[in-house]
Amino acid sequence: MSPRSIVVFVVLTAATLGSWYLSKSDDRDSDDGVPLDPTYHGYYLKSARILGTGSDGRLLYEIQAEYAEQQEDERIEFTVVQIRYSPDSNVPWSVKADSATILPNNQRVLLRGHVVAIGARAERDTEIRTEYLELDPENYLAETDARVQIRIDARSITATGMVASLRDDHLELKSNVSGKFVP
C-alpha cells in the first residue's frame, strides 16, 4: 500500500467512526419528557391589552394583564389583570385580580386571587373584595359563591355569595350576611 492509500484509508475510517458516533449521540427517538404537538398554535402576550366590544361594535371594556397565554384547550389565562369599562358605557366599575381565565365559547371572565371591584359614583365609592368572581362584562354582571366583603364609604357588609348588576348598581347577597354601619 502506498502512503497516499494509507492516508485516504485513515481519513475514511475516521469519517465513518465520527458519523457513527454523532448518530448515536443525537438519538432523535429518545423521549426527553417534553411532548411535541406540532398542531398547537397558541399565542402569548406580555403587557396585554384586549378590547371587548358590544353588539354595536363600540368599545365596551378593556382587559389589561401583565401576561396572557392561550392554552391548548383554547382557554386564555391572564396574570395580574385589570378590567375597566369604557367611559362611554356609563358603568364606572373596574376589577383587579391576581389571575383570570376566559373559557372558549363563554362570555364570562373567571377572576381568582385578591379580586377587588371598585365602583366610583359621584356620591359614593363601593368596593367589593373576594377570592373568586365571575364577571360577564357584556351583561354587566358579577357573581360569586365565595365569601365577599362589601364596603360603601364607612359601611361594611360580609356575606357568602353575591350577584351584582354593575350597570344598575344593584347588589343581591346570597347568605350569611352580617354588617357594620357607622352613623
Q: What pLDDT is recorded for position 129?
A: 96
Q: What is the pLDDT of residue 66?
A: 95
Please tell me the predicted confidence (pLDDT) of residue 92.
87
Q: Please, what are the averages of pLDDT over each run of 10 residues along the chain (183 residues)?
A: 71 75 61 57 85 87 93 90 90 94 89 93 83 94 95 88 90 85 65
What is the set of domains in the chain, with CATH numbers? 44-180 (2.60.450.10)
Listing from the earlier edge strand, what are the strands of the sheet with 155-165? Answer: 44-53, 59-70, 76-85, 93-102, 109-120, 125-136, 141-152, 155-165, 170-180
**What pLDDT is recorded for position 122?**
62
